[in-house]
Amino acid sequence: MGVTCVSQMPVAEGKSVQQTVEILTRKLELLGAEKQGTFCVDCETYHTAASTMGNQGQAGKLMYVMHNSEYPLSCFALFENGPCLIADANFDVLMVKLKGFFQNAKANKIESRGTRYQYCDFLVKVGTVTMGPSARGISVEVEYCPCVVANDCWNLLMEFMQSFMGNHTPGNPSVFGNKHDNIYSPGDTMAQYMELFNKIRKQQQVPVAGIR
């Protein structure tokens, strides 16, 4: 377990999502990264049920239940800017039982699938973010395995990302900033994914709203 940075890679001009992913992976393979199977991160959205809300004015909070193939036995439940719960895989069954309080927004299911690469101490996962049937973006996750203190290896991570992402290298993720003990945990990775997915959802929603 190490420090992870999740970022979005914009689709290259005049290229499809698939082609952009291929360009990226080719770059990685040229670097000498080793292919190690696939990965998958999925995220389901739950609304707080209307019956449980006390005040009318209070907006219902959204809860995200996520899975990551890197942590195959775990299940993550997150609120935006809120706490992150890590549970075992039985949590999904529990959510079915809690139907009265949390309602699953089926249409909002979003996931990222792709290939996992290992390059020395770095783990790189390039995935296609899909929502329903359509591909909506590209996620790039880079993990530096030997370190758990984010600030100590951020520069190294950035330098490595520059080597294959070029000028699309992201800035310091927000989760790094609001950590008081500096120790990175798997929940932080999932929070980054949640932010990324939310960003991608909003990007898509704007044009749809415009058409209406």
Partner 1 sequence: MSGAPAVRISIESASEKQVQEVGLDGSETYLQPLSMSQNLARLAQRIDFSQGSGSEEDEPPPGAQPRDWAAPGDAEDEEGLVKFQPSLWPWDSVRNNLRGALTEMCVLYDVLSIVKDKKFMTLDPVVQDPLPPKQNPQTLQLISKKKSLAGAAQILLKGAERLSKSVAENQENKRQRDFNSELLRLRQHWKLRKVGDKILGDLSYRSAGSLFPHHGTFEVIKNTDIDLDKKIPEDYCPLDVQIPSDLEGSAYIKVSIQKQAPDIGDLGTVNLFKRPLPKSKPGAPHWQTKLEAAQNVLLCKEIFAQLSREAVQIKSQIPHIVVKNQIISQPFPGLQLSISLCHSSNDKKSQKAASEKQSPEDHLYVLEHNLHQLIREFHKQTLSSTMMPHPASAPFGHKRMRMAGPQAFDKNDISSLQPNEGLLEKIIKQAKHIFLRRRTARTIDSLASRIEDPQIQAHWSNINDVYESSVKVLITSQGYEQICKSIQLQLNIGIEQIRVVHRDGRVITLSHQEQELQDFLLSQMSQHQVHAVQQLAKVMGWHVLSFSNHVGLGPVESIGNASAITVASPSGDYAISVRNGPESGSKVMVQFPRCQCKDLPKSDVLQDSKWNHLRGPFKEVQWNKMEGRNFVYKLELLMAALTPC
Distance CA 41, CA 76 (A): 11
Stretch that binds partner 1, among 86-94, 129-137, 155-163, 193-201 (CB under 8 A): 86-94
Give the nearest distance from C-beta 75 to partner 1 in angstroms: 7
Beta-carbon contacts of 150 under 8 Å, excluding residues fewer than 6 positions away, are 3, 176, 179, 182, 184, 188
Give the nearest distance from C-beta 93 to partner 1 in angstroms: 9
- Is residue 41 helix, strand or coil? strand
Structure tokens at 211: 């058409």
| Of 6, 43, 70, 78, the one binding partner 1 by CB under 8 A | 70
Residue 87 lies near partner 1 (rule: CB under 8 A): yes
Per-residue burial over 182-198, b = 16 or more CB atoms within 10 Å of its CB, e = otherwise:
eebbbbbbbbbbbbbbb
Residue 208 lies near partner 1 (rule: CB under 8 A): no
Give the nearest distance from C-beta 29 to partner 1 in angstroms: 21
Residue 148 lies near partner 1 (rule: CB under 8 A): no
Task: Return residues touching partner 1 (CB under 8 A).
Answer: 1, 70-76, 86-90, 185-187
